Amino acid sequence: MKIAPIIRALKVHKNGNVQWKLVHTGQHYDYAMSQSFFEDLEIPEPDFFLDAGSGSHAVQTAKIMVAFESVCKQEQPDVVLVVGDVNSTLACSVVAKKLLADVAHVEAGLRSFDLAMPEEINRMVTDAITDYFFVTEKSGAENLIKEGKSPEKIHFVGHVMIDNLYYQLGKLEQEADSSFSVAGLKKNLGHYGFLTLHRPSNVDEKVTLTGIVEGINKIGNTTPIIFPVHPRTKKMLESFDLSFSENIHLLPPLGFREALYLWKDADFVFTDSGGLQEETTGLGIPCFTIRENTERPVTIEEGTNTLVGCNKDNILNAFAEFKSGRIKQGRIPELWDGKAAERIVDHLLKP
């Protein structure tokens, strides 16, 4: 979702002589599974597929580093652009820097200040060796400056996730409802909430997951909820013998556009995802984040996001406030205008 707008911007940039290659590390999905995402987002066939697969953080990161080193030695890039905060981000930035290529980090500077989060380690290490910091919100720039980074290297550009969101919304408007497999469910429910849940801190501990399930089930008594179930969450629900009520409509994992088709018209969203906090703010949809912290404070300070923690009572209290009419009103953050990728490419390709 973050790469797609950048590729579109590269294709139309006035500097048509720039050469670029797309590397798919295979961290999250095997190649066949990821094809649906590539097609949804109109991403071209990757030039390299590293097939890293699953494994512990150390194993996965090591696999990516070894495979990506071969790519870099073959291609000898001037700049390696990485996005977000996954293991691929860390692995590829370290390899690039050791081979004396510049590193450009899209979504730089975000901090949860929670070192128990693997993503926080990835963010911090990547930013320690980055040359081009592309930040989505002003807190990112402030964090980087506090960490001693040069202001000249920090570029506040907006957010490519919002670029992708607006682009995909435009595409959805041209499609008939009948082209979506979930159209019937959406129509029958009318009003509904939308849930995503996948973080290890929420689903890997029985007590925590039990409380979340009980809270969501109670909310479902008043408003039905659509829940595409992440494979990790499905596994843990079965392991702990937990189940959702019939008012929680469980779906298999959805592609980006199918999920967007649902949540864009939801009355509210519950999530532990980073991206959905931002996307709901982009569309003004009430969002309740089931986490104890967030590295995206602008979604709370300016947007429609509320941090509710992982406790059943807190989840229910926040929803009770919402149902009573005390609905948080947000605004679109600065530079979340759908043109972040253009700014990124302009900075990278300055003469």
**What are the φ/ψ torsions at residue 343 (nearest 5 degrees)?**
-65, -40
Decide: 91 and 68 in contact? Cβ < 8 Å.
Answer: yes
Q: What share of the chain is helix, strand, coil (3-state, %, to 5)?
A: 50, 10, 40
What backbone phi and psi angles, to 5 degrees, belong to 236? -75, -35
Catalytic residue (choose from 198, 230, 249, 347): 198
* Burial (CB count within 10 angstroms: exposed 0-12, middle 13-18, buried 19+), residue 317: middle
CA 336 – CA 245 distance, rounded (Å): 37
Contacts of 307 (CB under 8 A, 6+ apart): 289, 291, 292, 293, 294, 300
Place of tokens 């959702």: 244
Neighbours of 186 (CB within 10 A): 16
Structure tokens at 36: 């649906």
Structure tokens at 169: 């919304």
Cα–Cα distance for residue pair 54/134, rounded to 1 Å: 28
CB 99 within 8 A of CB 73: yes
Instruction: Give CA angle at 25 (6, 44), nearest 5°.
Output: 45
198 is catalytic: yes
Return the active site residues: 198
